[in-house]
């Protein structure tokens, strides 16, 4: 079936039909399309275009179509141009002539915007729930080794000692921001476009505010031309997806490293790793590598729609039909990756000895020493110099921090008085980092409690 054709002398060619049809992918919007059309039928009744009886027939027919649509054979052999056309054909088959009125003053341009918004706001909620799952598991893992010390890195070089929970909380914050971004994406999508017509506004007095209420939208869009040419809400969603994947990808990269023989910090469960067809000893972190790999695909989805939209003349252009493939693809990859990451976290165990040793045997305490000198009165630049020379001397003579005694330190630099030697243990220096957001034991304990409370408020 077509929703147009009167002004044509012959039908579309087979190649054009094949090329332009979108049912293969936009069938995923069927639930949204039916919901939107039912609300539109109620609006047409309020506008005096449908009688109560006609509206009743249409709404009931749509309920039946919805129930049928969950069976795969529903779509078998369908040759409709898109999901909107298919839904109207099914309505005609069920409800007969009255179906001819459902599209009064409505355009597929606004309908596709409506359907996508309805779908997208559900999807935001689903992804937010999965994000909460990952965040909760990070907190769980933090509690399992709340006192473990690891070297924190900059430039992938050991920098300063931090608590293992402090490291995990950093990812908690990233995923929390992602949660907020999906809230924002949902908020932006949650505005009713219906009533915009093709581009100039509906020619019928439909009560837009009433439809908005009916469908649970926060309000109505303000300009019909904007609606017709707008995919910002899809881009906002794709951006939120992309940043989430970047965070997942960075966590994956960390853990691929941390679970390697070279690091030896983490043991990933058998259930999320795989072996080699040739090398019998291998246990590979494929789940994490795939999360990292899929992040590229999601970034590609954002890029794809950005490029599609750039330079389109006002208002609707058929190019915009291409938005759905990247939207669905991104949503699926993000939800799959969040689920996978949850399973990885569940399976992961920290072996606290190697990271503690890595911290103790390196010079992550250098900053602690320099800051202690500064606290004792040595200007910081001089303190930095003194500790720099101390580290250089240690490297030359092959000494680890624990190889120094208090007397030797003082002989090296008279500024190292009293208790400086205790700072050679990374645990000690962390005590000076009780600032909010820092890695001090108490600061991290309260950050953990605060994060738990914040997460509790997200899960509603």
Q: Which residues bind ligand ARG (CB under 6 A)?
A: 22, 26, 82, 108-109, 112, 316, 318, 320-321
When the beta carbons of 44 and 327 are compared against ligand ARG, the nearer one is 327
| 3-state DSSP assignment of residue 4 | coil
- The Cα 186–Cα 189 span in angstroms is 5
Which positions ≥6 away from 361 have C-beta within 8 Å? 400, 401, 402
Comparison of 229 and 285: residue with beta carbon closer to ligand ARG: 229
Nearest distance, CB of residue 244 and ligand ARG, angstroms: 25
Shortest distance (Å) from residue 231 CB to ligand ARG:
10
**How many other C-beta atoms are found inside a 10 Å radius of the C-beta of residue 356?**
20
Q: Specify the residue, 318 or 457, whose C-beta has the smaller distance to ligand ARG.
A: 318
């500064």: which residue's tokens? 374
In whole angstroms, the minimum distance from the beta carbon of 111 to ligand ARG comes to: 7
Least spacing, CB of residue 61 vs ligand ARG, in Å: 22
- CB contact at 8 A, 448 and 146: yes
Catalytic residues: 155, 276
Looking from the CA of 136 toward its CB, the CA atoms found within 13 Å total 15
When the beta carbons of 165 and 195 are compared against ligand ARG, the nearer one is: 195
CA distance 53 to 63: 15
Q: How far apart are CA 104 and CA 54, in angstroms?
A: 14
Largest CA distance in the chain: 101
Let me know: does 184 contact 236? Beta carbons within 8 Å.
yes
What is the closest distance, in whole angstroms, from the C-beta atom of residue 30 to ligand ARG in the complex? 13
CA 144 to each of CA 138, 348, 440: distance values in angstroms, whole numbers, following the listed order? 10, 11, 18
Angle (CA) 266 268 272, round 5°:
160
Of residues 117 and 433, the one with the C-beta less far from ligand ARG: 117
Nearer of residues 222 and 318 to ligand ARG, judged by Cβ: 318
Six-digit token pair at 260? Answer: 């390697």
Question: What is the nearest approach in angstroms of ligand ARG to the Cβ of residue 112?
Answer: 4
Q: Within 10 Å of residue 41's Cβ, how many Cβ atoms?
A: 24
Query: Token digits for 205?
Result: 């007095």
DSSP state of 217: -
Q: Please state the length of the chain.
A: 460
**Cβ(130)–Cβ(339) below 8 Å:** yes
């Amino acid at each position: 079936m077509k929703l147009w054709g009167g002004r044509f002398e012959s039908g579309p060619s087979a190649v054009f039909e094949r090329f332009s049809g979108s049912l293969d992918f936009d069938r995923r919007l069927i639930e949204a399309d039916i919901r939107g059309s039912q609300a539109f039928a109620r609006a047409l009744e309020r506008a005096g275009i449908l009688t109560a009886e006609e509206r009743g027939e249409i709404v009931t027919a749509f309920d039946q179509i919805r129930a049928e649509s969950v069976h795969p054979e529903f779509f078998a052999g369908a040759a409709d141009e898109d999901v909107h056309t298919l839904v109207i054909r099914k309505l005609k088959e069920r409800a007969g002539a009255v179906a001819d009125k459902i599209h009064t003053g409505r355009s597929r341009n606004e309908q596709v915007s409506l359907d996508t918004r309805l779908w997208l706001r559900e999807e935001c909620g689903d992804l937010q729930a999965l994000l909460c799952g990952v965040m909760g598991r990070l907190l769980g893992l933090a509690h399992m080794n709340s006192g473990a010390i690891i070297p924190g890195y900059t430039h992938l070089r050991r920098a300063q000692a931090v608590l293992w929970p402090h490291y995990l909380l950093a990812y908690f914050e990233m995923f929390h921001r992602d949660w907020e971004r999906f809230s924002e994406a949902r908020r932006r999508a949650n505005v009713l476009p219906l009533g915009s017509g093709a581009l100039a506004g509906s020619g019928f007095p439909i009560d837009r505010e009433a439809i908005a209420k009916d469908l649970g939208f926060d309000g109505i869009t303000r300009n019909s031309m904007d609606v017709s040419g707008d995919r910002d809400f899809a881009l906002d969603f794709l951006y939120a997806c992309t940043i989430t994947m970047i965070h997942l990808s960075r966590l994956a990269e960390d853990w691929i490293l941390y679970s390697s023989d070279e690091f030896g910090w983490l043991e990933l469960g058998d259930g999320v790793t795989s072996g080699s067809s040739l090398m019998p000893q291998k246990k590979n972190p494929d789940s994490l590598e795939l999360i990292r790999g899929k992040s590229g695909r999601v970034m590609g989805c954002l890029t794809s729609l950005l490029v599609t939209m750039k330079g389109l003349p006002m208002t609707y252009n058929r190019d915009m039909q291409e938005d759905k493939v990247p939207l669905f693809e991104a949503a699926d990859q993000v939800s799959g990756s969040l689920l996978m990451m949850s399973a990885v976290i569940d399976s992961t165990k920290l072996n606290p000895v190697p990271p503690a040793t890595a911290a103790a045997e390196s010079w992550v305490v250098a900053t602690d020493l320099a800051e202690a000198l500064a606290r004792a009165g040595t200007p910081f630049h001089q303190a930095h110099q003194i500790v720099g020379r101390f580290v250089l001397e240690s490297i030359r003579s092959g000494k680890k921090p624990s190889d120094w005694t208090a007397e030797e330190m003082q002989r090296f630099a008279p500024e190292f008085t009293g208790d400086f030697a205790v700072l050679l243990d990374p645990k000690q220096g962390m005590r000076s980092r009780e600032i909010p957001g820092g890695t001090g034991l108490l600061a991290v304990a309260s950050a953990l409690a605060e994060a738990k409370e914040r997460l509790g408020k997200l899960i509603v």
